[in-house]
């Protein structure tokens, strides 16, 4: 299974007020099996922007915490015509352009987008390409 990691998960690793045990479990899985994760390139920019705005040492947190993850084996997908075309289908369903890129990547890789964005997950209900981490980890998660 390929897990597409949303920025909403990663920022919880660095912001005390946003911390969540399910985000921590995702981080542990990411450290253990980085090749089972993917992100669209916009992930880096989103996380950097949030950390610079909301973390007292946002730049340092990004460089010391996120860059090693990005360099550690996670698949990083650039924007391509194919991904943009697939994303457009999700924009037409009501997702933002950013969220549509995560959904499109999950769809393309036949994976699951892990997010804390309940509204985006709700738009995709019934399509089995996203998982809302606010309530639970994905089924079978503890089985690594």
Residue 103 within any structural domain of the chain: yes
Whether the CB-CB separation of 39 and 75 falls below 8 Å is answered with yes
CATH code of the domain covering residue 21: 3.40.50.1010
Containing domain of residue 15, as a range? 3-139
Q: State the Cα–Cα distance between residues 10 and 18, nearest whole angstrom.
A: 10
In this structure, the strands spanning 75-77 and 37-40 are parallel
Residue 33 within any structural domain of the chain: yes
Query: Tell me, what's the pLDDT at 144?
Result: 44
Q: How far is CA 71 from the centre of its chain?
A: 16
What does the block give as tokens for 141? 């998660």
Residue 97 within any structural domain of the chain: yes
138 pLDDT more than 60:
yes
Determine the average pLDDT of the residues in 103-111: 98
pLDDT tens digits for 21-51? 999 999 999 999 999 999 999 999 999 999 9
Residue 48 within any structural domain of the chain: yes
Sheet with 112-115: list strands edge to edge. 75-77, 37-40, 3-5, 112-115, 130-132
- Whole-number mean pLDDT of the chain? 95
Q: State the Cα–Cα distance between residues 72 and 66, nearest whole angstrom.
A: 10
Residue 76 within any structural domain of the chain: yes
pLDDT tens digits for 119-128? 999 999 889 9
Residue 46 within any structural domain of the chain: yes
Number of domains comprising the chain: 1
52 pLDDT more than 70:
yes
141 pLDDT more than 90:
no
57 pLDDT more than 70:
yes
Residue 144 within any structural domain of the chain: no
76 pLDDT more than 80:
yes
What does the block give as tokens for 94? 């009501």
């Amino acid at each position: 299974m390929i897990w597409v990691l949303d920025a909403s998960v990663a920022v919880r690793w660095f912001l005390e007020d946003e911390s969540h045990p399910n985000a921590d479990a995702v981080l542990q899985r990411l450290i253990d099996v980085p090749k089972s994760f993917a992100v669209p390139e916009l992930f880096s920019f989103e996380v950097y922007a949030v950390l610079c705005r909301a973390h007292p040492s946002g730049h340092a947190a990004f460089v010391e915490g996120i860059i090693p993850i990005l360099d550690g084996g996670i698949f990083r997908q650039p924007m391509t015509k194919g991904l943009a075309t697939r994303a457009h289908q999700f924009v037409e369903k009501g997702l933002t352009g950013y969220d549509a890129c995560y959904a499109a990547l999950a769809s393309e890789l036949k994976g699951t987008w892990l997010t804390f964005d309940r509204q985006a997950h709700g738009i995709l209900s019934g399509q089995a390409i996203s998982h809302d981490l606010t309530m639970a980890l994905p089924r079978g998660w503890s089985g690594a």
